[in-house]
Amino acid sequence: MKTNDVILQTATKVVFFIIFLFSIHIFFVGHYAPGGGFVGGLLTTGAIVLLLLAFDLKTIQQILPFNFTIVTAIGLVLALSTAGASIFFNVPFFTHAYDDFNLPLFGKTSLHTAMFFDSGVYLVVVGSAITIIQSIGGDD
Amino acid sequence: MNMINLLLFPIIIPFFFAMILMFFKEQVVIQRVLTLIGLALSLVASCWLVATVKTEGIQTVTLGSWPAPFGISMVSDMFSALLVTTTILITFFVVLYSFSSIGIERERFFYYPAILFMITGINGAFTTGDIFNMFVFFEVLLIASYLLIVLGGEKRQLRESIKYILVNVISSAIFVIAVAYLYSVVGTLNMADISVKIAEINQPGIISVIAILFLIVFGIKGAIFPLYFWLPGSYAAPPIPVLALFGALLTKVGVYAITRTYTLFFVHDIGFTHQFLLVLSILTIIAGCIGALAYFDLKQIIIYNIIIAVGVILFGVAQMNTAGLEGAVYYLIHDMLIKGALFVLIGIIIYVTGTSNLREMGGLIKTHGTLGWTYLIAAFGLAGIPPLSGFIGKVLIAKGAFEADHAFSSVIVLASSLIVLLSVIRIFIYAFWGPQQHVLPARDQRVYRQMMLPAVMLVLITAAYGVGAEWLMPYMKDAADVLADPSIYINAVLKE
């Protein structure tokens, strides 16, 4: 008998976006409130895992056609190049830069290169967690 | 240009190339070329670093432009600069050896990135000036080594990797606990600052307890006497190039960490801590000697020789005088080079004969002359026959021991040289002399020559290291001076 999980799938379609937005929120508030790249990455992973539970592995690989090993590698490159950019300015490794900018939509905003490092962490967390889940789950 | 980040290059370059390699999982040729380029660049950077440390003194940088005890300090004194250079040199030749021996299946599954990540961790552990950062770099090298030990998925590898991971997870947990204790007593993680704070409170009992806790942690990583039980089984499981890297580098990181903490932190109650280290190092040597004589298996004989060498180096450190420390530094680098060379050589013997059992070999000198004589030079170098590299380190260690009135134990150290010689010459006699016991399996001569190239070059480097001792001695002296006098290190880090 084929199980019918229409309620689960419909709920997932809504809840996925709520979790995903929350993870982005957690990622961006990291500098001033609890949160940051690691938790944000894990929450995004959680959202994708919910998709995996409601649908099957193949569908998810079609929706998100990334090679998550490469995502991890991109995250590492991003993190290292943020830290390593300081080499070219001849200041100690990992020295960050920050300033206030007048952005068209947000007004006066303080931007910090630590954000790029955090995006690297975010990508590494998402990439490695999904790689683990896919390789365990996909092993028939 | 004034390069303040120079000391980080031997860490960053392998790290950078490791992640670039992750983009080329299937293209083995690109992986090989990029790995060699990465290691060559790191080698240039580390040689440059040694020259800079020689002319300008200890190099330090505190990450993120924070003042010294608050940020993570990276410190490159001569000791760590030399170890970093040796690490990259050995890895370069082992990678060359891997091309012909590791097999395409492993190369396609992140073999080279794992090696480069491991080098990142090892160089970081050698260079860091922050005790918790040292823990992080230990984990970087350990996690990469978990991949290397299990890569290939043979039954034996799976069994031994479980043991290896279990032991290392436990020792890492003890490391965290030890750092927590130390932090709750001194309230700082910067190694120079810890040294200052311990000197201020003059090492009460709790600090001696933490010293022993650190000895347990690094003793598990570096395989000292009662804690070496995991090493013989685990190291025999992975293929030879991985074994060569592990044998030459991994235990030495533990030895480095013991040396660093026992010369920088715990120097106020030498009667207790260093006597303890001395006794353990003697027991380590004895245990290693028993193992080295007991086996007829090529890998096990050399693996037990690692344990003997760990004991000898720590015996030198336990003397806490300039001669002993200088000897320990010299012997440490000698041992990294010679173990790399010996593992590569026995790898070739195993490749040629198709077995690692000594009893099934014989008569190789007639068919593989170069291999035989190269092996003999490496064996003499290991035992410490005068013009070769093992000699001066051991002489200095013995000199230090006699100066510190440890005459009896230094006789044991010297006697262990005879057993080392006996154990490696036994390989030579069984494998190369006598009649050919059975027909050798047919082997590709081109692959054999490709394998011999890095082996011969490593042995030549160890020979040059012994013959050129006079020229290298100023470097060793600089390294030992920093170890003998912590204030040099402290002043370099906390200069403001």
Residues paired with residue A111 on neighbouring β-strands, in sequence order: A99
pTM beyond 0.90? yes
Answer yes or no: do A94 and B63 touch at CB < 8 A: yes
Q: How many of the other CB atoms lie within 10 Å of CB of B284?
A: 27
Answer yes or no: do A92 and B19 touch at CB < 8 A: no
Between B2, B16, B71, which is nearest A90 by CB? B2
Strands A107-112 and B59-62: unpaired
DSSP 3-state of A108: strand
Answer yes or no: do B22 and A73 touch at CB < 8 A: yes
Please tell me the predicted confidence (pLDDT) of residue A86: 86
Residues paired with residue B62 on neighbouring β-strands, in sequence order: B73
DSSP B420-471: HHHHHHHHHHHHHSS---SPPPP--HHHHHHHHHHHHHHHHHHHHHHHTHHH
Q: How many CA atoms lie within 13 A of B170 on its CB side?
A: 10
Structure tokens at B489: 């290190």
Between B1, B20, B64, which is nearest A90 by CB? B1
Say yes or no to pLDDT of A61 above 90.
Answer: no
Please tell me the predicted confidence (pLDDT) of residue B2: 61
In this structure, are residues B261 and B138 in contact, taking their beta carbons and an 8 Å threshold? no
Answer yes or no: do B22 and A94 touch at CB < 8 A: no
Strands B59-62 and B73-76: antiparallel
Please tell me the predicted confidence (pLDDT) of residue B436: 80
Answer yes or no: do B8 and A69 touch at CB < 8 A: no
Distance from CA of B407 to the nearest CA of A (A): 48
DSSP 3-state of B44: helix
Q: Considering only CB atoms, which chain B residues are within 8 Å of A97?
A: none
B87-111 confidence digits (pLDDT tens): 999 999 999 999 998 888 888 899 9
Answer yes or no: do A80 and B16 touch at CB < 8 A: yes
Interface of A to B at Cβ within 8 Å reads: 69-70, 72-73, 76-77, 80, 84, 86-87, 90-96
Mutate to test the interface with B, among A78, A81, A94 (most CBs of B within 10 A): A94
Residue bearing tokens 């470097």: B475
Structure tokens at A38: 């690691």
How much is the CA Rg of chain A, to the nearest whole Å?
Answer: 18
Residue bearing tokens 């084929």: A2
Q: With the CA atoms of A121, A125, A131 and A137 taken in that order, what torsion angle do they form, in degrees rounded to the nearest 10?
A: -170
Between A76, A90, A92, which is nearest B64 by CB? A92
Mutate to test the interface with A, among B22, B73, B496 (most CBs of A within 10 A): B22
Answer yes or no: do A95 and B64 touch at CB < 8 A: yes
CA-based nearest residue in chain B for residue A97? B64
Closest CA to B426 of B358, B325, B357, B344: B358
The length of chain B in residues reads: 496
Say yes or no to pLDDT of A114 above 80.
Answer: yes
Answer yes or no: do A69 and B22 touch at CB < 8 A: yes
Residues paired with residue A99 on neighbouring β-strands, in sequence order: A111
Answer yes or no: do B22 and A80 touch at CB < 8 A: no
B364-405 confidence digits (pLDDT tens): 888 888 999 999 999 999 998 888 888 999 999 999 999 999
Q: Considering only CB atoms, which chain B residues are within 8 Å of A91?
A: 4, 65
Q: How many of the other CB atoms lie within 10 Å of CB of B108?
A: 13
Distance from CA of B303 to the nearest CA of A (A): 34
Q: Considering only CB atoms, which chain B residues are within 8 Å of A70?
A: 22-23
Between A77, A86, A95, which is nearest B19 by CB? A77
Size of interface A-B (CB pairs under 8 A): 49
Please tell me the predicted confidence (pLDDT) of residue A85: 87
Say yes or no to pLDDT of A140 above 60.
Answer: no
Closest CA to B380 of B442, B425, B335: B425
Residues paired with residue B42 on neighbouring β-strands, in sequence order: none
Please tell me the predicted confidence (pLDDT) of residue A1: 66
Provide long-range contacts, Cβ within 8 A and 24+ apart, for A109-116: A112/A31, A113/A82, A113/A85, A114/A31, A114/A82, A115/A31, A116/A78, A116/A79, A116/A82
Please tell me the predicted confidence (pLDDT) of residue A97: 86
In this structure, are residues B457 and B361 in contact, taking their beta carbons and an 8 Å threshold? no
Q: Give yes or no for B70 touching A (CB within 8 A).
A: no
Backbone φ and ψ of B61, nearest 5°? -145, 135
Alpha carbon separation from A4 to A7, A54, A55, B76, B203 (Å, rounded):
8, 11, 12, 64, 69
Q: Give yes or no for B370 touching A (CB within 8 A).
A: no
Distance from CA of A20 to the nearest CA of B (A): 27
Mutate to test the interface with A, among B1, B2, B4, B5 (most CBs of A within 10 A): B5
Query: Among residues 47-66 of chain B, which lie with CB inside 8 Å of chain A?
Result: 61-65
Structure tokens at B297: 């298996």
In this structure, are residues B292 and B308 in contact, taking their beta carbons and an 8 Å threshold? yes
Q: Considering only CB atoms, which chain A residues are within 8 Å of B62?
A: 92
Distance from CA of B443 to the nearest CA of A (A): 37
Backbone φ and ψ of B306, nearest 5°? -60, -45
Structure tokens at B269: 């109650």
Answer yes or no: do B61 and A93 touch at CB < 8 A: yes
Please tell me the predicted confidence (pLDDT) of residue B40: 96
DSSP annotation of B66? -
Q: Considering only CB atoms, which chain A residues are within 8 Å of B71?
A: 92
Instruction: Tabulate helix, strand, coil % of chain B (nearest 5).
Output: 80, 5, 15
Q: Apex CA B338: angle with CA B251 and CA B129, to 5°?
A: 40
Residue bearing tokens 């353990």: B280
Answer yes or no: do B19 and A80 touch at CB < 8 A: yes
Structure tokens at B313: 């180096």
DSSP B308-347: HHHHHHHHHHHH-SHHHHHHHHHHHHHHHHHHHHHHHHHH
Arithmetic mean of pLDDT over chain B? 92
Answer yes or no: do B4 and A90 touch at CB < 8 A: yes
CA-based nearest residue in chain A for residue B19? A73
Q: With the CA atoms of A33, A35, A40 and A46 taken in that order, what torsion angle do they form, in degrees rounded to the nearest 10?
A: -120
CA-based nearest residue in chain A for residue B15? A80
Closest CA to B93 of B338, B318, B294: B338
DSSP B140-187: HHHHHHHHHHHTT--HHHHHHHHHHHHHHHHHHHHHHHHHHHHHHHH-
Question: How far is Cα B250 from Cα B181, in angstroms, rounded to an integer?
Answer: 25
Q: Give yes or no for B26 touching A (CB within 8 A).
A: no
pLDDT band at A94 (very low <50, low <70, confident <90, very high): confident
Which residues of chain B fall short of a pLDDT of 50? 1
Question: How far is Cα B337 from Cα A78, in angstroms, rounded to an integer?
Answer: 35
b/e map B14-29, b = 16+ CB within 10 Å: bbbbbbbbbbbbeeee
Answer yes or no: do A92 and B23 touch at CB < 8 A: no
